[in-house]
């Protein structure tokens, strides 16, 4: 016959506290399974050409605005120089239409005007002399008519050259100046276009990032818009996991989660950034018999400190729910 043995009350409380403390020290079990995902940035040039130089290699960290690669730009540089010359010519034409004739041309017209004025003065003096001779009866009255005609011709010549001198000092007509200015504007835009084309033959890093892959080697021809390399900025790393339809009410955008991975020294704090609007079946990448063939919603979470580069695309993850956020609703 066995006799019941009863632990003392103090020993029972000690045992309960030990179990509770042990449970607190254990790593929290993961609620869902997922994997790390990266949103890559594919760097290409809008123009094609031979790859002259590649300045980076896969696995290298690059900083913002650093040169990544350069394509052959000889044709674009030549077109740029041509457009620059055309702009200089157009600007000169605009400047020319805003001025009168050259100083030398104006001097010629001025000399002609002075000569005409002198001839007009002589014609008037000759008319007075002929009038005196007619009064004395030495010449006929027809001589006065000739002298008067000569005076009129001389004065008309003076008026003509005076007007010509005024016109020589005026700029071109309004329509001519507008046409010259339009040509200069067109040349300026052509230069801006060639400048852009020349600049697009080399590409810089849009942000601090990791060079994930390099798809071409130096000397190869790259088609327009074809990626030469791919970058992975730190902020483009995220966790992707799948929540069963029945547990969707537990989560919300902005809610804090904890990410666990093999070899990680500690849990990675993150926040839910997206909840898919449509359901799907658990993808085969999640190797869990318990979750196969279940209707789930894809959820994404971004680490709170992306700069530490703790997540690697394709890395399996376990996701634990921490606390409901005060703001944000499930999508």
Provide the CATH number for the domain around residue 301.
2.40.30.170
- Separation between Cα atoms, residue 253 and residue 236, nearest integer Å: 17
How are beta strands 61-62 and 295-303 bridged, if at all?
unpaired
Instruction: Single out the residue of 296, 291, 290 nearest to residue 246, CA to CA.
Output: 296
Residue 15 belongs to a domain = no
Same domain, 217 and 148: no
Q: Answer with the one of 137, 163, 191 that is the final residue of a domain.
A: 191
Q: What is the pLDDT of residue 130?
A: 76
Q: How confident is the model at residue 235 (pLDDT cuts 50, 70, 90)?
A: very high
Give a yes or no: residue 135 inside a domain.
Answer: yes
Task: Using the structure block, give the residue that is written with the tokens 């088609």.
Answer: 223
Q: Is residue 313 part of a domain?
A: yes
Determine which of 83-87, 143-147, 156-160 has the lowest per-residue pLDDT on average. 143-147
- The model's pTM is 0.64
Q: What integer pLDDT is reported at residue 330 of this predicted model?
A: 39
Domain count, the chain: 3
Domain limits at 212? 41-72+201-232
Same domain membership, residue 35 and residue 47: no
Average pLDDT, the chain: 81
* Residue 18 included in any domain: no
Residue 39: pLDDT above 50?
yes
- pLDDT for the residue 134: 74
> What CATH number corresponds to the domain at position 68?
2.40.50.100
What does the pLDDT read at residue 107?
A: 80
183 and 104 housed in the same domain: yes
Q: Cα 164 vs. chain centroid, distance in angstroms?
A: 53
| pLDDT score for 171 | 65
Tell me, yes or no, whether 2 lies in a domain: no
From 315, 232, 239, select the one nearest 39 (Cα to Cα).
232
Q: What average pLDDT does this structure show over 238-261?
A: 91
Q: Are residues 88 and 186 in the same domain?
A: yes
pLDDT band at 51 (very low <50, low <70, confident <90, very high): very high
**What average pLDDT score do residues 60-67 get?**
96
Query: What is the pLDDT, as a whole number, of residue 15?
Result: 37
């Amino acid at each position: 016959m066995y006799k019941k043995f009863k632990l003392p009350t103090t020993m029972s409380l000690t045992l309960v506290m030990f179990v509770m403390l042990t449970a607190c020290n254990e790593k929290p079990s993961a609620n869902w399974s997922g994997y790390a995902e990266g949103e890559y940035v594919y760097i290409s040039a809008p123009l094609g050409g031979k790859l002259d130089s590649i300045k980076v290699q896969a696995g290298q960290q690059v900083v913002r605005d650093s040169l990544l690669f350069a394509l052959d730009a000889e044709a674009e540089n030549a077109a740029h120089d041509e457009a620059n010359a055309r702009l200089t010519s157009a600007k000169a034409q605009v400047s020319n239409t805003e001025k009168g004739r050259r100083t030398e041309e104006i001097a010629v017209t001025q000399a002609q005007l002075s000569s005409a004025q002198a001839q007009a003065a002589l014609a008037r003096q000759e008319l007075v002399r002929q009038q005196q001779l007619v009064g004395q009866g030495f010449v006929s009255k027809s001589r006065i008519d000739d002298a008067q005609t000569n005076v009129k011709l001389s004065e008309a010549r003076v008026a003509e050259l005076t007007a010509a001198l005024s016109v020589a000092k005026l700029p071109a007509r309004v329509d001519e100046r507008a046409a010259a200015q339009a040509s200069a504007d067109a040349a300026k835009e052509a230069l801006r276009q060639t400048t852009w084309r020349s600049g697009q033959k080399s590409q810089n890093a849009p942000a601090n990032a990791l060079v994930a892959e390099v798809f071409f080697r130096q000397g190869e021809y790259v088609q327009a818009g074809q990626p030469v390399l791919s970058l992975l900025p730190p902020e483009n790393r995220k966790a992707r996991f799948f929540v069963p339809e029945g547990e969707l009410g537990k989560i919300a955008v902005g809610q804090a989660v904890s990410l666990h991975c093999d070899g990680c020294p500690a849990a990675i704090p993150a926040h839910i950034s997206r909840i898919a609007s449509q359901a799907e079946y658990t993808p085969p990448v999640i190797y869990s018999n318990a979750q196969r063939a279940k209707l789930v919603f894809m959820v994404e979470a971004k680490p709170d400190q992306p700069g530490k580069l703790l997540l690697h695309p394709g890395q399996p993850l376990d996701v634990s729910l921490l606390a409901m956020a005060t703001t944000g609703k499930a999508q």
